Chain A
Amino acid sequence: MGNEFEAQSLPEEGVPPEFRAGCHPAGRSQERIHVPYRSPCDPCPPLPFKTYVVPPNQFIVFQPPNWPQYPPEQALRCGTLWPALHSPYRPRRGREGEAT
């Protein structure tokens, strides 16, 4: 099981383009971190950790009605009509830890 510490510990680099549309949900991030097995025969130096995303829909059994919605233009850019279901993709490039 991946260990539970939050992704906030990741160095927060410049805001990636997809967040300029205001899509980034506030509060806890959806990324979790785990450390894979490191074999002595590994050709390359081990990475500090690898990340995986646990999207919000894993925690919602049945979507309640009348949820707050994004304005249409922003919904198109965020990929969902409801902020509660938004799961942003954070590009790997230039981030410490897991390689691309």
Chain B
Amino acid sequence: MNAHPFHTEEYRQALEQLQVVDFVLLELNLYLDTHPWDVQAIQQFNHYTHERMKIANQFQEKYGPLQNYGHAYSGCPWSWIETPWPWQV
């Protein structure tokens, strides 16, 4: 299925950008578990959450769903089976 844009550099860069934002969110999430009153970290967390939603939506429009079971829309035919599995990327 080479027609799909998985073999392009943009695809990898988009994935990496998503991974960078996800990692920051992970660290902030764990930090906020023990520092619930830290307003600045919460603002940063919300900023990156908004950022992550934008990146994920752009990604999904272009490359298909990141997650299934209702976390993303599907095209026709069913797009979930079109996208490569994570270990294939």
Write the residues of chain A forming the contact surface with B, with a CB cutoff of 8 angstroms: 62-63, 65-66, 72-73, 75-76, 80-82
Write the residues of chain B forming the contact surface with A, with a CB cutoff of 8 angstroms: 19-21, 23-24, 27-28, 31, 34-35, 38, 40-41
> Nearest A residue to B40 by beta-carbon distance?
A66
Q: How many inter-chain contacts with C-beta < 8 Å in the A-B complex?
A: 29
A81–B19 Cα distance when bound, in Å, is: 14
Residues of A within 8 A of B41 (CB): 65
A selection of 29 A-B contacts at a CB cut-off of 8 Å is A62-B34, A63-B31, A63-B34, A63-B35, A65-B35, A65-B38, A65-B40, A65-B41, A66-B38, A66-B40, A72-B20, A72-B21, A72-B23, A72-B24, A73-B20, A75-B20, A75-B23, A75-B24, A75-B27, A76-B19, A76-B20, A76-B23, A80-B27, A81-B23, A81-B24, A81-B27, A81-B28, A81-B31, A82-B27
